Amino acid sequence: MSSPIPSLTPPKRILMGPGPSDTAPRVLAALGAPTVGHLDPYFLQVMTETQSMLRQVFRTKNELTLAVSGTGSAGMETCVVNLIEPGDKMVVCVNGVFGGRMADVAGRAGAQVTTIERPFGEVFSPEQIAEAVARVKPKVLGIVHAETSTGARQPLEEISKIVHDAGALLLADTVTSLGGLPVEVDGWQLDAVYSGTQKCLSCPPGLAPVTFSPRAVATIEARKSKVASWYLDMTMVRNYWGQDRAYHHTAPINMNYALREALALVLEEGLENHHARHKKHHLALKAGLTAIGVSYAVAEPYQLPMLNAVTIPAGVDDLKVRQQLLNEFGIEIGGGLGPMKGKTWRIGLMGETCNSRNVLILLAALERCLGDQGYRCASGAGVAAANEFYRRS
């Protein structure tokens, strides 16, 4: 008789990195609910409810709004491969890792890709976008709303008008922003938008919310060639999520349960309240970090509330601090990527993680870790400054 195999016992962490975020008990419970078939009437009703709630969170009336069976990167591929045919011109804005990834995906889909660039942590001006679309005359311009690798927020409203005036479609990455910042799909006239479940929606990774404008749908329907990916082909997938409910693939049933519950929690709190909570705790964390001499790596107007990219103080070892936070305090924060590697930390305040308890615990723990490396600041200054912010607000 073989010996018993131990059951899984994952450690309990406070997830304050760039994602995933902590998951609410109601969402975790949904993952353990009874599985039904992917065409079961109960599950079809869950799909209908999920679509309705996704439209509310995206702030859109787009009919083609659904959850792709895959992580946020699958959402990116979905938007790109459905809009792009071989030889199409696409401009991709690269100011971080995920802009670069979008350019790679577009090239693999056969696009003639032109990249425009800004240093990591900076954003694009309307003038830079206008010059690029006038010069290239692209079919699609792709841009990241909230660059997860840098903590920078890209304003989109003025850019949208420029892109549309040039006759192009606007594709936006909202993986980190959806739920934590306003994403006005209809108000900003965004044509194709993708996100992920594991950031401000606080659902485990595994699904990618996407939405397509009527203009984007018309572009897909006018294609002369098949979509490069069978699995992500919206001309087929939409028949499963639409009124026909035509079988396309076996959806991840319990992940859709979880997303349905995560969206319900957001809407029960109120979308505006959900956004305001992220801003409030970001400002408290910022007050605490400033008090201990830790500065932000992104200019004030463009800082993300849910992903705080901060500069590592001189003489402090990046990896040692992150390892100590994880091993002694059970707190995960992220390191920098690309040219920011070893220079910044990425501190997430997303969804379920975004609360005063976590802000205060992190500040106290970080002060201890910094002190162990010889970095000196007034004892308890970070916690005191954050508490003072909370008292005032």
Domain definitions of the chain by residue range: 25-268, 271-392
Q: Which fold has domain 25-268?
A: Aspartate Aminotransferase; domain 2 (3.40.640)
User: What local confidence, expressed as pLDDT, does residue 260 receive?
Assistant: 98
The low-confidence residues of the chain, meaning pLDDT below 50, are none
**Considering only CA atoms, which of 296, 352, 298, 346 is closest in space to residue 318?**
346
User: What local confidence, expressed as pLDDT, does residue 354 receive?
Assistant: 98
Cβ burial, residue 273 (10 Å; 0-12/13-18/19+)? exposed
Q: Which fold has domain 271-392?
A: Aspartate Aminotransferase, domain 1 (3.90.1150)
The span from the CA of 334 to the CA of 318, in Å, is: 10
**Considering only CA atoms, which of 19, 106, 44, 9 is closest in space to residue 350?**
19
User: What local confidence, expressed as pLDDT, does residue 378 receive?
Assistant: 85
Could you read off the pLDDT of 243-257 as tens digits, one per residue?
Answer: 889 999 999 999 999
User: What local confidence, expressed as pLDDT, does residue 341 receive?
Assistant: 96
Residue 152 near residue 124 (C-beta atoms within 8 A): no
The pTM for the full model equals: 0.96
Could you read off the pLDDT of 290-337 as tens digits, one per residue?
Answer: 999 999 999 999 999 999 999 999 999 999 999 999 999 999 999 999
User: What local confidence, expressed as pLDDT, does residue 60 receive?
Assistant: 98
User: What local confidence, expressed as pLDDT, does residue 2 receive?
Assistant: 80
